[in-house]
């Protein structure tokens, strides 16, 4: 049984690498990579002002600095935790 989180679009990194063109991120959105398998989520930039998302950004800065070779932010948490946190935004 699946559920959809409003405002989040996801694609796997493998699918992006398989295509000749990287997934385009629409204006007003940001690509982030989450979990061990680096699942890509495209999230609204409005999430950046949420205190719990700012905590994730601080953790990303501590772990990765400002070097994000995937082309988007790498968030150091599991996909489940990320989905739990972002499901509260609205």
The pLDDT tens digits for 24-63 are 899 999 989 999 898 999 999 999 999 999 999 898 888 8
Specify if 52 maps to a domain: yes
Specify if 4 maps to a domain: no
Helix (H, G, I), strand (E, B) or coil at 54: helix
Helix (H, G, I), strand (E, B) or coil at 86: helix
Separation of alpha carbons 5 and 30, rounded Å: 16
Specify if 43 maps to a domain: yes
Res 49: pLDDT: 94
Specify if 23 maps to a domain: yes
Percent of the chain at pLDDT above 90? 39
- Domain extent, residue 23, equals 9-86
Specify if 60 maps to a domain: yes
Handedness of CA 23, 4, 75, 28 (dihedral sign): positive
- Please report which confidence band the pLDDT of residue 18 belongs to, taking 50, 70 and 90 as the band edges: very low
Q: Residue 3: pLDDT above 90?
A: no
Q: Residue 41: which region, alpha, beta or left (left: phi > 0; alpha: psi -120 to 50)?
A: beta
Specify if 46 maps to a domain: yes
Measure Cα distances from 58 to 21, 62, 73 in Å.
Answer: 30, 6, 12
């Amino acid at each position: 049984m699946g559920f959809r989180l409003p405002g989040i679009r996801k694609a796997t990194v493998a699918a992006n690498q398989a295509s000749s063109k990287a997934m385009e991120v629409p204006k007003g959105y940001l690509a982030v990579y989450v979990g061990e398998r680096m699942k890509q989520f495209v999230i609204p930039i409005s999430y950046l002002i949420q205190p719990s998302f700012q905590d994730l950004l601080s953790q990303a800065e501590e772990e990765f600095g400002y070097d994000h070779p995937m082309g988007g932010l790498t968030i150091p948490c599991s996909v489940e935790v990320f989905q739990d946190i972002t499901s509260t935004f609205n």
